[in-house]
């Protein structure tokens, strides 16, 4: 089977395309060519859409629509030519010091015990980090009725009362399951956001937004 270079498909699609479509084909072809020169050949629709966004290229959704069939064909041709798919490549997990330590232990029992100690140490470090983030604690020792008698006490509205509907929707979307799944992200009990085990947002990100949404 003769391997067709993506540039050949690009020329065929470009030949009878409208002016606007020619511009989009050029953007996509140039973006794919750039990806072909990188170490990690990422020809996923989302990545290509981000690369052409600054030049007013179509969004990821537009590329996935029926009218984006030729664009997807061109992206797919680039992927096939370099023996990859249009799925986003998984990031390689880097070996840690703990991994090296466990790998050097041959005795199964000792390895299991050391693994448990490492796991417990990680847990304690996470809890310690969470405590360090709580830099200020305010304890109100006044009786409940004191605020009504004290004229110097000023009750202010929480900042989130001033959020617009658009901003509230943006917060909801930021931690929605649909958005997380689309990005390939996961969350943990500490409110962290991770992608393939790599931290994207620190502990408290999801839980903080949830607390704000619960108060609105």
Kindly report, residue by residue over 153-193, the tens digit of the pLDDT.
Answer: 555 555 556 678 787 888 888 889 988 898 899 999 898 99
| 109 CB-contact burial (10 Å; exposed 0-12 / middle 13-18 / buried 19+) | exposed
Alpha carbon 70 to chain centroid, angstroms: 28
For 55, residues 6+ apart whose C-beta sits below 8 A from its C-beta are 27
Distances (CA, A) of 133 to 175, 193, 202: 21, 17, 11
Distance between the two ends of the chain, CA-based, in angstroms?
A: 61
Handedness of CA 58, 63, 64, 67 (dihedral sign): positive
Task: Give the pLDDT band (50/70/90) at residue 215.
Answer: confident
Other CB atoms within 10 Å distance of the CB of residue 154: 7
- Can you give the pLDDT at residue 68? 92
Q: What is the pLDDT of residues 103-113, one digit of tens each?
A: 788 776 676 77
Beta carbons of 185 and 193 less than 8 angstroms apart: yes
**Residue 214 in tokens:** 């619960």
How far, in Å, CA of 14 to CA of 125, rounded?
A: 57
203 compared with 121, residue with greater pLDDT: 203
Dihedral sign for Cα 172, 177, 181, 182, please. negative
Range among 87-91, 167-171, 193-197 with highest mean pLDDT value: 193-197
In this prediction, residue 1 carries a pLDDT of 44
Percent of the chain with pLDDT over 70: 81
What pLDDT is recorded for position 144?
A: 60
143 band by pLDDT with thresholds 50, 70 and 90: low
| pLDDT tens, position by position, 20-35 | 999 999 999 999 999 9
> Tens digit of pLDDT for each residue in 26-84?
999 999 999 999 888 999 999 999 999 999 999 999 999 999 999 999 999 999 999 99
What is the mean predicted confidence (pLDDT) over 194-206?
88
The arithmetic mean of pLDDT across residues 141-146, rounded, is 60
User: Which residue in 74, 81, 22, 14 sits closest to 45, CA to CA?
Assistant: 74
């Amino acid at each position: 089977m003769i391997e067709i270079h993506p540039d050949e498909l690009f020329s065929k699609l470009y030949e009878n395309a409208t002016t606007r479509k020619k511009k989009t084909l050029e953007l996509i072809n140039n973006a794919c060519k750039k990806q072909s020169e990188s170490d990690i050949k990422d020809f996923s629709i989302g990545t290509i859409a981000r690369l052409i966004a600054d030049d007013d290229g179509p969004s990821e959704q537009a590329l996935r629509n029926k009218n984006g069939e030729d664009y997807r064909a061109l992206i797919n041709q680039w992927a096939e030519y370099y023996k990859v798919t249009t799925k986003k490549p998984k990031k390689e997990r880097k070996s840690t010091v703990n991994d090296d330590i466990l790998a050097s232990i041959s005795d199964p029992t000792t390895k299991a015990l050391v693994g448990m100690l490492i796991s417990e140490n990680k847990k304690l470090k996470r809890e310690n980090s969470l405590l360090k983030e709580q830099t200020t604690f305010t304890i109100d020792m006044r009786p409940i009725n004191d605020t009504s008698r004290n004229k110097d006490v000023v009750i202010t509205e929480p900042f989130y009362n001033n959020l617009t509907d658009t901003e509230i929707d943006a917060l909801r979307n930021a931690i929605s399951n649909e958005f997380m799944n689309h990005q390939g992200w996961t969350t943990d009990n500490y409110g962290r956001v991770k992608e393939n085990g790599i931290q994207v947002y620190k502990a408290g990100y999801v839980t903080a937004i949830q607390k704000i949404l619960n108060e609105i």
